[in-house]
Amino acid sequence: MKVLVVALLCLVVTSATVKFNWYEVIRVYPKTSVQLNFIRHLEHSGKYDFWKTAATKGFADIMASKENMISLKSMLRVTGIRYSIFISDVQGKIDQINAIPRKEAGPKSSRYALTWDNYYQYETIREFCYALAQDYPDLVTLEVVGTSLEGRELVLLKISSGGEGKPGIFVDGGIHAREWISPATVTYMMREMVENYAAHPEVVDNVDWYFMPLINPDGYEFSHTDNRMWRKTRSTTSIAGCYGADPNRNWDFHWAEGGTSSYPCSEIYTGPVPFSEIEMANVRDAILARASQLRIYLTVHSYGQMLLIPWGYDAVYPEDYPELEELGLAATDALTAVYNTKYDVGCSGVIYGPAAGASDDWNKGVAGIKYSYTLELPDNGRYGFLLPATEIMPVAVETWEFFRVLAERISAN
């Protein structure tokens, strides 16, 4: 009987998971402005899942079911837009990645379950944060800055060796649920600063760090339990029967302008009003409470290997762009020197395409944090969001150099 109950439970859990059998991801290359507008129109329709938005120059990555892909491809042929296959069977790719044997790599602790050779759910990340704070009270202060819609804690960790007047750097991860490499990398940075403090004390001694490794915990959890490709929050503000808003279109700076959608089923839905998403409102307040100290805001996403500099609401350069670019290039050069992973550094609205209401723009434009960046971690067109866990360590190790340069440069000027 017990076996039967367990078997039934397993069935329920499995059948609740969205399957992506024969879903395809294609990379499309609009060349003319008419073609680009056509692709952007498709994105706003909400019918397709854009893994990557239609960049001003370059390409967009689009996922669709087999049926939707047939009509999409015929539209592309009619409009003369070239495309190539990125992933031919998304579910096949997910299953293949899940079957990769787990190779133990990276640090391990007896105090928490989190490691960097696997992706973990919210609770394990939360436990890690509490363990760091408990074990290193001289370096780490934990604060819960609010809860998510479903009641999960929004954890903020301050890493500081004390003293007054230090520049502050605020880092967040996991704003987009399916970008699993983001919280994995951000937690590694936290661990390296705290548990390995003695190896590079200057990284912590010269800066006060503020980390929020998982700012969309409901969406993240949902991407583990129900739908691996979930991007948004899990709010129910819409009447269209669709859940969630894009947390990175929800910030109150040029809200609902270019590269957004007012259609609740779209992946780039703005939400009904700015800061409608409780998680973003809580992060906003946590930032505002420290804004006068903060010199750098860094939000960690994936994928695409880009460092995006404001503005992103349109192809507009801030007047101090050269300074942001200089620091960005220094940091990405250090990253690239590790394993030769190349990053594009540029103005978001230009190299990525307009996407208004994002956190980086708000942090610069409203909170007044001069150096505000979006870091798009690897990869660049092989696995996309499905980056295998075996890649966490290489990504974390190279990204550490990026963080090191931020600390060094910001404390020097």
Closer CB to ligand 0X9, 190 or 347, in the complex: 347
Q: Is 312 in the site for ligand 0X9 (CB under 6 A)?
A: yes
Distance CA 206, CA 274 (A): 35
Q: Which stretch binds Zn ion (CB under 5 A): 22-30, 34-42, 163-171, 173-181?
A: 173-181
Clarify whether 376 is annotated catalytic: yes
CB of 260 to ligand 0X9, least distance (A): 10
Sole binder of ligand 0X9 in the list 40, 152, 176, 232 (CB under 6 A): 176
Quick note: the x/- pattern for ligand 0X9 over 44-63, rule CB under 6 A, is --------xx----------
- Residue 219 beta carbon to Zn ion: minimum distance, rounded to whole angstroms: 11
Which residue is catalytic, options 153, 179, 221, 376? 376
In angstroms, give the least distance from the CB of 40 to Zn ion. 18
The interface partner of residue 361, options being Zn ion, ligand 0X9, none and the CB cut-off 5 to 8 Å by kind, is ligand 0X9
CB 137 to ligand 0X9: min, Å? 35
Q: Which of 301, 350, 384, 406 binds ligand 0X9 (CB under 6 A)?
A: 301
Of 145-153, 162-170, 203-211, 353-361: span binding ligand 0X9 (CB under 6 A): 353-361
Catalytic sites, residue numbers: 376
Residue ranges binding ligand 0X9 (CB under 6 A): 52-53, 176, 179, 248, 301, 308, 312, 348, 352, 355, 358, 360-361, 374, 376
Where do contacts with Zn ion occur on this chain (CB under 5 A)? 176, 301
